[in-house]
Structure 1
């Protein structure tokens, strides 16, 4: 299932919203590579590129949380670490099984669910907090 950007995913803080849109595009590239039956050699670089982008994005969010003393910072960071654990699991599956249906399912379900839930619930709170600080 591809990710489609909808207005309910807007967190209200321009930089974070722009990064989320890009993150969705990169996730969709990864999912498409899996669906197209690309081999591990083609999927791993796309996954690595996604992870690099997520790392930069999370670092930005975490800097904002630190700078402005976001009260839910620890929980937010814990969720970021949870995603990295899930990505490590996908990487392990990819190495062990290749570009299998299981890997595609893992990407399209677990990562998708995490991303949507995190943006809609957790990042929206951060966006509102940052927007209020900027006002």
Structure 2
């Protein structure tokens, strides 16, 4: 049995999922059924020509798929996003309560304008 790190079908599946592509879409691009794509993704080894076609559709080289590793993806993500914007210690540059009050005041002003427009409309209807 092949090691999971060498399982080309699983790598194709992971890359496809990371690209946000469904099996049905890949199948359509390849001109095969979704079941055939599922079978490919369950295969430890994939024919070179098929791998080339799949790689092209996924926007990669077949070598990129062969060398794909989830660990590398996580390392890239970890090394790319250091701005701490997702940190739990994130400080707002505004007071959220003030924003809520502002939105409430805008809503009240809008409702007052709508009410005034309705009153004017009713007056026009009555005057006819």
Fold shared by both chains (TM-score > 0.5): no
TM-score, normalised on structure 1? 0.24
Tell me: higher relative CO, structure 1 or 2? Use CA pairs within 8 A at least 6 residues apart: 1
Higher fraction of helix: 1
Q: Give the structure-2-normalised TM-score.
A: 0.25
Larger Rg: 2
